[in-house]
Amino acid sequence: MKRYLFASVLAVAAPAAWAQDAVTLQLKWVTQAQFAGYYVALDQGFYAEEGLDVTILPGGPDIAPTQVIAGGGADVIVEWMPAALAAREQGVPLVNIAQPFENSGMQLTCWADTGIQTPQDLANRTLGVWFSGNEYPFLSWMSQLGLSTDGKSETGVEVLKQGFNVDPLLQRQADCISTMTYNEYWQVIDAGVTPEELVNFRYEDQGVATLEDGLYVLEQNLQDPAFVDRMARFVRASMRGWDWAQENPEQAAEIVLEYDETGAQTLEHQVRMMGEIAKLIGDSTGVLDEAAAQRTVDTLLAGGSDPVITKAPEGYFTHVVTDAAFAQQ
């Protein structure tokens, strides 16, 4: 995957001509291989070759990227499209400028011995759900299944507000919990559970997957040609980083660990995560697939009495940045 080799050739002579333009990136979650492409681009000098001085801010359970960028704390954020569209409708004018992830890693992981085999078997079960914007795809899915989530209907599910761990499943507090294919699912496996003991419902397979880990900026900034140019260089270098990470998963995991100030991550876990993340990126060039974006919107609008968004959004994505980034391909 050498889609961006041309960029490095063009950029070799660039630092002498360009000043180092500052870019602050806010991640959706903590430092881990989910964001390896950005750390690789920083570590391998891809950003520097594009004349960029990039600062990467890790996220966490108390950090909402949409609030960070709205408050001026970042130039660009990694965010899931449901949260970005909800924020846009609420007055934070976020625009998707690139989409490195083609596929969704979100799923519901259930104990097989509960008898849950199909989505219809979720009725009257206790399901662990992440909130802070991560609940939106789940709520839309339940609405499409005709299952209430308000706890008042006989035909519904009991929603357990899940922390960012797998304890509710392991302790049998929930029949199912939210997991990502690259993270929490493997935490369950590492706890001694076998794959045969579990049933997974991938949102992709259920037709309700929404776009994850896109790059978003504030709409008004796109009126500035200098900002668009800066973002084009940032996206180009970032996709080079993702290419490198996919081709060198173990080295990419090692780079991630170098930037993990918590010391909580392990090489084995990060290498495995990088392998799963590569599946979600696929052959992405970073250009948003408009059909996938529309599927996300349609899923969110099918939220029943409590929809994520109340009307079809307009102007929530642009190709101007990726067009500029890859114009010379």
**For 259-270, what is each residue's pLDDT tens digit?**
999 988 999 999
* Residue 329 pLDDT class (50, 70, 90 cuts): low
Higher-pLDDT residue of 10, 215: 215
Mean pLDDT (the chain) is 91
Percentage of the chain modeled with pLDDT above 90: 78
Residues 249 and 309 in one domain: yes
Same-domain pairing of 157 and 199: yes
What confidence tens digit (pLDDT) does each residue in 269-325 have?
999 999 999 999 999 999 999 999 999 998 888 766 567 788 999 999 999 999 999
Cβ neighbors of 290 (< 8 A, separation 6 or more) are 317
Does 141 score more than 70 pLDDT? Answer: yes
CATH number at residue 165: 3.40.190.10
Helix, strand, or coil here: 146?
A: coil
Same domain, 310 and 278: yes
315 and 217 belong to one structural domain: yes
Helix then strand then coil, % of the chain, to nearest 5: 45, 15, 40
Query: Side chain identity at 75, as an amino acid letter?
Result: D
Domain match, 215 and 320 both = yes
pLDDT tens-place string over residues 30-84: 999 999 999 999 999 999 999 999 999 999 988 999 999 999 999 999 999 999 9
Structural domains of the chain, count: 2
Q: Do 215 and 90 reside in the same domain of the chain?
A: yes
Hey, what are 58's tokens? 């890790």
pLDDT at 11: 45
Measuring CA to CA, which residue among 54, 75, 60, 21 is closest to residue 240?
54
- Binned at pLDDT 50, 70 and 90, residue 328 comes out as low
Average pLDDT estimate for 9-35: 76
Residue 10, pLDDT score: 45
C-alpha to C-alpha distance for 81 and 321, rounded to whole angstroms: 17
240 CB burial (10 A radius; 0-12, 13-18, 19+)? buried
Q: Whole-structure pTM over 0.95, yes or no? A: no
> Where a domain ends, among 175, 206, 237?
206
- Is 217 found in the same domain as 91? yes
Q: Are residues 215 and 321 in the same domain?
A: yes
Claim to verify: residue 77 and residue 178 sit in the same structural domain: no
Q: Are residues 226 and 319 in the same domain?
A: yes
Check whether residue 181 and residue 146 sit in a common domain. Answer: yes
* Predicted local distance difference test score (pLDDT) of residue 208: 87
Q: Which of 187, 206, 225 is the last residue of a domain?
A: 206
Say if residue 198 is in the same domain as residue 249: no
pLDDT at 308 (0 to 100): 77
The domain in which residue 157 lies consists of 106-206
Residue 17, pLDDT > 50, answer no
Lowest mean pLDDT segment, chosen from 16-30, 108-122, 244-258, 287-301: 16-30
Single out the residue in 206, 233, 248 at which a domain terminates.
206
Mean pLDDT, rounded, for 77-99: 96
